[in-house]
Every structure is written in C-alpha cells, then in structure tokens.
Structure 1
Amino acid sequence: MKKLLFSFVFLLTISFTTLAQTVRYVDNNTGAPNSAGLNYSTIQAAVDASSAGDIIYVQPSPNNYGNISMNKTLHIYGIGHNPVLNAGQYAIFNDIHFLASAASSTISGLNVRDFYLHYTAGNNDGILISNNRIRQAVRGNNSTGYSADIVVSGNYFQNNSHYHINNVNSQNWIISNNTFERSSTGSNSYIFYRLNNTTVLNNNIILTRQNGDGNQSINIFNACSGTQISNNIFIFTGNSVSNMNLGGNSALTFNNNLTYSVTTVLDPLGGTNIDDTNPLFTSFSPNNSLNNTTHDYTFQGGSLAINAGSDGNDLGVMNGGFPFNVRGYPTELPYLTDFVIFNNILSEGTDLNINVKANANNN
C-alpha cells in the first residue's frame, strides 16, 4: 500500500503554447522532482535552460525562490498571489532583474519584492507585469532608450513606506487596473516617484492611511512631471488630510478621478473629477486590506463612478471589463477551483481517482 502526497498546481497543459515553446516547471518544495526532464528546483536553472519565448510555471511553496536574472524573452507564471487552493500558498520571490534582450516577457501570478528594468545595454521594451503582489516597486531605466512600453496591470502593491512605481527615465509606461495600498501613517510616504509626461496612470485604486502634516497635506506623488492621471479612485483613511499637495511635482493633470476621505473633508480637485464622494463599491471595508477577498470593486447602483471615466467606462480597476481579480490569477491561464483525491492510499497498479475543476480566465 502506498500513500500519495501531492503538491499540485499545473496539471493542466495550457492550450496557447506553440510547437516553438518549451514549458518548464519549477518546484522547490521538499521532495519535489529535482532537475528531471523539464522539472527544476531553482528558478534560475530553469531560466538558464530556456530559449527565448519559452514558458515557466512556478509551483507555490513556503520557500522563497530568491532572485531571477533574465536575458531573454520568457513567460513566467505562478497560480496567483492569493489563491483559493494550496492552502493559500503562492510562489514568492525577492528581485527580478531584466538584463538584456528580455523584451516582451511576461511575469504573472507571483509574489515579488522588486522588479528592476535597469539594464542599459539591451532591449527590455514591451514587458508585461500583471496580477502579481509587489511588496516594494517596479523600477525603470536611467536611459530614455531602454525599458519602454512597459505595462503594469492587475497587480496589488502594498508596503508601509516604500514607493511602488519609479519610472526613472523610461518612456511610455501604462500603469493601470492596479491596487496600491500605503500602510504608513507618515505624511511624506509617497507612492509614485519620477513619473514623466509619457506615463499613463489610469483606472487604479489608491488607498492610503497617511495622516496629514501641519497643513493637512500628504505626499502621494514625488518628483513627477507632466503625468496624465485619469479614472483612478483615491481613498484616504488617515486623520487631518485635506489634500495630497506634498512632493516636488510639476504639471500633473487630474481628469475623471474620484476622491474619498473616510474621516475628513478633502479639498476639491475640481474640473472633471468627482470630489470627496463614496465610490459605493459592491463590497468594501476601508479597514481591510485592498486584496481582501470579500471586496468587490464593481459598483452599487447610484454610484457616481459608473461610466464616469474619460473613456465612458467605470472608474477604478474594473474599467472596460478588465479581468481584475483580488487573488491575482494570471489572465492567460485557467484557475483551479477544486481538486479532490478520492483514494490517496492505494495498491500498486490501482487507478488514482481525481476530480479537478477549473474556471476559464479571460484572455
């Protein structure tokens, strides 16, 4: 008789792979297959063995996978940063460094500390960073000629005081449909740093717990210039906050945003913005984390955020039918909803009876 124990994530073979792509699996759980065939125990070994365009699936684990250095186009997926199954475990990383020739890569469904797009001698344009939990920041390049056309979407950012987006001098970034949560109560704990006039910041939810300074001001943007800020929802839970005027910024343009203070009265942004108004989410508590799975960021009837965007769609992360999910399921993959082993103790030669259920995600 044998008792079978499973660490299960990617039994499903994803149909969008092509003949030119190799799929590799990384698992650093105790007892996982070690460098057998296409199975690897370290992420860097899988990256080094891959060719441009290959796909890497990373199993959830209590063990940190460490850092990644990428010098080719790869598509790396976890199962989500807050999954239903696997006892809520996810794949956790420290830093992901895009070195040279990693253009058009995808990183999705992971828990990552930092993304660095800082290499100055290779093309890292067109990278998609989506549906991850990001504990610190996505950082750009000192040169305007590298790390352009980056899309940062569907992620959950949370940190006490570290900034979350730093364009540096990178061009044409789209930062959309993310949730940003600032836990620190310090007035000068900014979230966005060095956004420039090519940056698009739209359809995000930004929640800050900062308290105002002596002038009832806090800092969300710092050293930003010429950025168009549209269709976002800003939520303030701190005391003595009337504005977000701190930070040396210039020519920021706010259009079709909604602001809401839970405890104080905010100064109006004016123009096409909706000032100091409850967005009336379908389900939401400002005392909970933004990635709380009871939250539903669609809107109740009567919400002024409905169809209030500059594009005629809703404000916030659900704009235009974007498949935002608080669990961080990768958009490209189906996600598991149930996995049952009916006979995990069996004799040799006996069939293993399993029931697997999954929902299709949007692509």
Structure 2
Amino acid sequence: MKTKQLFTLFTALVTFTCFSQNTITVDNNPGITEVTNFVYANLQDAIDAAQNNDTLYIQASATSYGDVTVNKTLNIIGRSHSENNKISYIDNMDVTPNASNSYFSGLNFTDEISINNPLPVTDLVFENNYINHIGFSLSSGGINNCIIRGNVVRYLGESSSWDSPIQNGVLTNNIFLHDVNIAYPESVSLKNNIFFCYTGKILIVNESNNNTDLIIENSIILKMNSNAGSVSPYDGIQFKNCLTYNPNASVFDDLPGTGNLNNTNPQFENVTDDDFDASTDDYHLKAGSPAIGAGTDGEDIGLYNASGYLFNMFGITYGTPTVNITNITESVQEGQPLQVTITASSN
C-alpha cells in the first residue's frame, strides 16, 4: 500500500471531530422530549435532519434504533457495543456513496451494514463496534480507502465478492468471529487481528483473481473447541509472524508463510471459549508470552501492539463523555429530595 494512501486513512481518524458542525442527541428511551435539530427519538429522523459533518450521539437503550440509511457525511457514535445495559443497537444500516468520509463508533449492529451501490463508498471509518455482517452485493462498488479497527466482526464480505471489494483498506486490531472475504489484497493491510475458528476450518478467503497473495501479519488464529481445526484451505494467503492455538488434542496445520508460531499458547490473561464475552475475556498477553515481541518489526502479536491504539472490550469510544448513575435512593416520601450520585468522565 502506498504511503500516501495510509496517511490519508489515518488522517481521517484524527480529524473527524474537527469538522463537526452540530451535535445531535438520539434517544429512544421512554419519556424523551424531542427538540428539533437537537434531540430526536428516531435515528432516521435525526439522520434526515442532520447536515454534512454533524455528530450524532446514540444513547444506550434496550430498544434498537432499527434500520437506517446513511446518505451524508456523519459521525455516528454510540455509548458502547457490549457494556451491560449501556448498548446502542442499530439493526440494518444502508450506506450510500454520499456517506463517504463518515465515522461510526461504539455501536452494536445486529443485522448488516449494507454497501450495495454500484459506485464505491470512500473514506469510511468503523471503530469500536460489534458488527454482525459487513455485506456487499455483487454489483456494488464496495469500500475504497477505509479503516476497520477495534471492532468485533462476525462476517466480512461475501463469498465470490470480487466485484464488491475492500480496496485501500486498513483492517487492524479486530476480532473476527467467522468468515472473512477480501478482494484486491494488494491494497489491504490485515494485521494484529484475532481470528476465531468455530467449525472445521477458518475461512479467510482471497477473492482476487490476479494471483496476488493476501498477507496476514501479527495475528492470532484460535480454535477453543475440540473439533479438528485447520486454517483456510484457499490459495493466495500468506501468514507473516502469526500464531495458531488450539488447547485441545487436535492441532492446526502449519501456516504458509514466514515467522509463524504454530500450535503455540499465546498465554492470554483470560480467554476460555469460542464466545466473545466483553465482561470476562481478556486478550492481553501475560508476561512471558511467546507472542510478545514476536511480530514484524519486534511488535507483539495480537490485538495490542505498538500502534498506540487501545482495543476496548466494551466498544466505548475514547474521547467522548459518558455519564453514569452510581447511586440512587430507592424510594422517598412525596416532596422530599431524591438523592442521586452521578459521575461523568471522558473516555
């Protein structure tokens, strides 16, 4: 990938708030009073009312904000994707080319992020989200110049998706729970991720037909159940300084590539099964882990590397304010003050 392209991508991360014009709160909890241009109960109404570069804060709610279409440049930020009782849910989100340069963080997408326009959507950033599926139709232009970082992703792309690629993409510090389909691998950086293998094989698929290998760096492939496991059977994939681990009797085949640690315990602080559990899992490496310093350029293998990005298990967006009620009087007499303790912080 060209240096200029990478610079453009990471500039998008640090500047998204600088160009924000207005801040809109979206809250579908009971008792919320809507205020035009400031507070909305319906997310699509808020999107429709917003101007390019506005920031929408999606409040935590037990009720999903439903299906939406994003057709302008917006910063859409939720409370978290997995913190107990503080999750911002969206079902299906359709992203159009007019949504280029948008930023999405702290959201739990229960259905699909659909990118189905014949023209590409450019300069998207997905960070700190739980994403059930990022999908493309075979006629779509896909994503060009994107960052997918710090997410938990169940499915990425579609089988036979070479006409709907991710081009000029940085996919790093993510947990991938199921199939990963990549096209145009010569322009995709895929490193410091964790890939789970639930069934017989982990399906990392290079959909390109131009004989260019997909390079996966500094990543960990896990299989925590007793089924026999092996890495993707597809050609065109090379692993560089990656690690495989299955604590059961069955073992992975050696990875194709160089510098890999095959069938080696990464020594996580706490990971016991195939289910992602934000409240109990801890993917930090223990002192003495063989993955420490074993990546390319002496980096650690796994989610936490020298990039400075800190993976957040709950999907809380750093730099955004959060308010928590830590203590509240259970009951008071009529006319008596209600004692509430509120803490506020910037993550």
Give me the TM-score of the superposition, normalised by structure 1.
0.78
Contact 1:173–1:200 under 8 Å retained in 2:
yes
CA RMSD in angstroms comes to: 2.8
Distance 1:239 1:71 in 2: 45
* 1:173 to 1:30, Cα distance in 2 relative to 1, 3 A: same
Q: Which residue of 1 aligns with 2:173?
A: 177
Contact 1:95–1:115 under 8 Å retained in 2:
yes
Residue correspondence of structure 1 range 329-344 to structure 2 within 5 A: 329-336=316-323, 339-341=326-328
Distance 1:65 1:323 in 2: 27
Q: Which residue of 1 aligns with 2:34?
A: 34
Distance 2:43 2:223 in 1: 39
SS class of match (1:101): helix
Cα drift, residue 17 of structure 1: 5.7
Picking from 313, 316, 319, the partner of 1:326 is 313
Distance 1:256 1:117 in 2: 32
Cα drift, residue 37 of structure 1: 5.1
How many pairs align? 319
* 1:220 to 1:17, Cα distance in 2 relative to 1, 3 A: closer
Distance 2:294 2:144 in 1: 29
Distance 2:346 2:289 in 1: 30
Cα drift, residue 254 of structure 1: 0.8
Cα drift, residue 351 of structure 1: 7.8
Q: Which residue of 1 aligns with 2:283?
A: 297
Distance 1:59 1:174 in 2: 28
SS class of match (1:44): helix
* 1:337 to 1:25, Cα distance in 2 relative to 1, 3 A: closer
SS class of match (2:122): coil
2:236 equivalent to 1:251 = yes
2:265 equivalent to 1:268 = no
Mind listing any 5+ residue stretches in structure 1 that lack a counterpart?
A: 1-15, 183-190, 213-217
Cα drift, residue 311 of structure 1: 3.4
Picking from 202, 205, 230, the partner of 1:222 is 205
Amino acid at match of 2:38: L
Picking from 280, 294, 297, the partner of 1:308 is 294
SS class of match (1:311): helix
Q: Which residue of 1 aligns with 2:13?
A: none
* 1:19 to 1:317, Cα distance in 2 relative to 1, 3 A: closer
Picking from 156, 159, 163, the partner of 1:164 is 156
Distance 2:21 2:341 in 1: 29
* 1:114 to 1:47, Cα distance in 2 relative to 1, 3 A: same
Question: Deviation digits for residues 95-141 of structure 1, max 9, x if unmatched?
Answer: 111113212211111111211233234x6311111111112235488
Cα drift, residue 242 of structure 1: 4.6
Q: Which residue of 1 aligns with 2:122?
A: 125
Picking from 339, 342, 347, the partner of 1:356 is 342
Amino acid at match of 1:109: G
2:132 equivalent to 1:135 = yes
Q: Which residue of 2 aligns with 1:151?
A: 147
Contact 2:115–2:140 under 8 Å retained in 1:
no
Cα drift, residue 89 of structure 1: 3.8
Contact 1:233–1:315 under 8 Å retained in 2:
yes
Distance 2:222 2:324 in 1: 32
Distance 1:66 1:147 in 2: 23
Amino acid at match of 1:296: D
Distance 1:39 1:354 in 2: 24
Contact 1:81–1:110 under 8 Å retained in 2:
yes
* 1:142 to 1:345, Cα distance in 2 relative to 1, 3 A: farther
Distance 2:311 2:59 in 1: 22
Distance 2:17 2:224 in 1: 45
Distance 1:207 1:200 in 2: 19
Q: Which residue of 2 aligns with 1:205?
A: 194
Cα drift, residue 360 of structure 1: 3.6
Q: Which residue of 2 aligns with 1:99?
A: 96
2:183 equivalent to 1:195 = yes
SS class of match (2:126): strand
Contact 2:319–2:346 under 8 Å retained in 1:
no
Mind listing any 5+ residue stretches in structure 2 that lack a counterpart?
A: 1-15
Question: Deviation digits for residues 230-282 of structure 1, max 9, x if unmatched?
Answer: 11110013445252243xx4321210111001221222126211111010012
Residue correspondence of structure 1 range 15-34 to structure 2 within 5 A: 21-34=21-34
Q: Which residue of 1 aligns with 2:46?
A: 46
